[in-house]
Amino acid sequence: MVGASAAGLSTAEALRRQGYQDPITILGAEADPPYDRPPLSKQYLRGDWDADRTRLRPDSMLDALGANFILGDPAISLDVDRRLVRSAAGRELAADAIVIATGLRPRALPDQAGLAGVHVLRTLADAAALRADLSNAPKVVVVGNGVLGVELAATARQLGCAVTLTGRQAAPMESQFGPMVAGLVAQLHTTEGVELHSGTAVTGLTPADGRVTGVQLAGGDHLPAEVVIVAIGSEPVTDWLAGSGLRLDDGVVCDSRCRAADGIYAAGDVARWYHDGQRALLRLENRTNATEQAACVAANIVGESHSYVPVPYFWSDQFVTKIQVHGIQTADAEVTVVEGNPADHRFIAHYRRDDRVIAVLGWNMPKQIRLHKQQYLT
């Protein structure tokens, strides 16, 4: 396993559940034992959880797995024919099967390098640095109004910061949710005191004495800030695979069984595989996919032959609102509220295309959304 996080660890665990008894090595770039990322923008950043509570498994369970963990040593190349991974520390690890689970790295603004007060969020170290910078309730600008930016705006606001959320989308998360639900997300944030500057691009950051002082918008507005959080999307970590011969195109391109080459698989955020049901290459960036795809990869490694055809699921927590989505929404889908009422902050919406439900969204309705998923999507 290359990558010691949700997908890498879950593949190892699934292999053991399948009865695989041969040696397993898990190589990870980060020195921390495997931890979970969703709490980093929520419970951990708010200070409700300490770092230990974000761990995916306690030591006893990692020991019971009987895997060789090599942490703090990134892979730097892969020899596909010999199934051999080389690491930065000079290790050469050969295996019968290799699973690429190296996840994503956040995109940065061109002028943010080395500027104090500017943050991205992917790792526990990123979250610790951001948490420290938010502790004095500074004036915060979040750049990027996708799912991560929206969650970070909510958490910073809960910490008492004055928060402005800006991004290219006309309303927060509009490209994912469509205008109706995105309008409700905007309303939620405005009610909680987040200032929105939607539908606008950031042209740069303003510095003074090595520290950020604000964000310059395309329309000419300047948003003053003591802390800027950049959440403008991420890129699959595939640079270490350059020259390997694998097809790299917005992720590691795989067949329907998550196989990139003979004996080489990919799982989690980095994997772009052929979804038989959608008849298209798909790459998902959500926590549930990391576990489910890992289980499919493990089954295929031990000799089964499964196509990976999940009904995707993700959730997002913003203030006290939980939004859950099953299925694959598209921008052109027709959205209808079928249960509850947005005015009561509890509802289920169906996303339809060609007269078929393609996704269901629950807003503070965790029990009901499961039933809708079962009824309409399985």
Ligand X SMILES: Cc1cc2nc3c(=O)[nH]c(=O)nc-3n(C[C@H](O)[C@H](O)[C@H](O)COP(=O)(O)OP(=O)(O)OC[C@H]3O[C@@H](n4cnc5c(N)ncnc54)[C@H](O)[C@@H]3O)c2cc1C
Cβ pair 203, 214 in contact under 8 A:
no
* Residue 335, token pair as written in the block: 């959205």
User: Which of 172, 268, 312, 362 is the binder for ligand X (CB under 6 A)?
Assistant: 268
Number of residues that bind ligand X (CB under 6 A): 36
Q: Which residues, including other chains, have CB under 8 Å from residue 314's CB and lie 6 or more apart?
A: 147, 286, 287, 288, 324, 325
Residues 139-158 that bind ligand X (CB under 6 A): 148
Q: Which residues pair with 167 in a beta bridge?
A: 198
User: Which of 40, 120, 217, 325 is the binder for ligand X (CB under 6 A)?
Assistant: 40
Interface with ligand X includes 74 (CB under 6 A)?
yes
List the alpha helices (DSSP H) in 4-162. 6-17, 43-46, 59-65, 124-134, 147-158
Interface with ligand X includes 194 (CB under 6 A)?
no
Distances (CA, A) of 172 to 67, 127, 141: 42, 22, 14
Shortest spacing between CB 234 and ligand X, in angstroms:
8
C-beta of 6 vs 248, nearer to ligand X: 6
C-beta of 216 vs 234, nearer to ligand X: 234
C-beta of 3 vs 214, nearer to ligand X: 3
Interface with ligand X includes 29 (CB under 6 A)?
yes
Interface with ligand X includes 166 (CB under 6 A)?
no
Cβ pair 264, 238 in contact under 8 A:
no
Interface with ligand X includes 333 (CB under 6 A)?
no
Interface with ligand X includes 11 (CB under 6 A)?
no
C-beta of 4 vs 217, nearer to ligand X: 4
Shortest spacing between CB 220 and ligand X, in angstroms:
31
Dump the DSSP string for 26-66: EEESSSSPPB-SGGGGTHHHHTSS-GGGGBSS-HHHHHHHT
Residues 199-258 that bind ligand X (CB under 6 A): 237, 240
Residue 30, classified by CB atoms within 10 Å of its CB into exposed (0-12), middle (13-18) or buried (19+), is: middle
Classified as helix, coil or strand, 123 is coil
C-beta of 120 vs 217, nearer to ligand X: 120
Interface with ligand X includes 5 (CB under 6 A)?
yes
Pick the piece of the chain touching ligand X (CB under 6 A) from 98-106, 172-180, 272-280, 368-376.
Answer: 98-106
Cβ pair 69, 26 in contact under 8 A:
yes
Shortest spacing between CB 40 and ligand X, in angstroms:
4
Cβ pair 160, 140 in contact under 8 A:
no
- What is the helix (H) or strand (E) element at residue 299, kind and residue range? helix 287-301
Interface with ligand X includes 314 (CB under 6 A)?
yes
User: Which of 121, 143, 161, 217 is the binder for ligand X (CB under 6 A)?
Assistant: 121
- What is the helix (H) or strand (E) element at residue 287, kind and residue range? helix 287-301
Shortest spacing between CB 101 and ligand X, in angstroms:
5
Pick the piece of the chain touching ligand X (CB under 6 A) from 209-217, 258-266, 313-321, 329-337.
Answer: 313-321
Interface with ligand X includes 54 (CB under 6 A)?
no
Which residues here bind ligand X, judged by CB under 6 A?
Answer: 2-8, 27-30, 37-38, 40-41, 74-75, 101-104, 121-122, 148, 237, 240, 268-269, 285-288, 290, 314-316
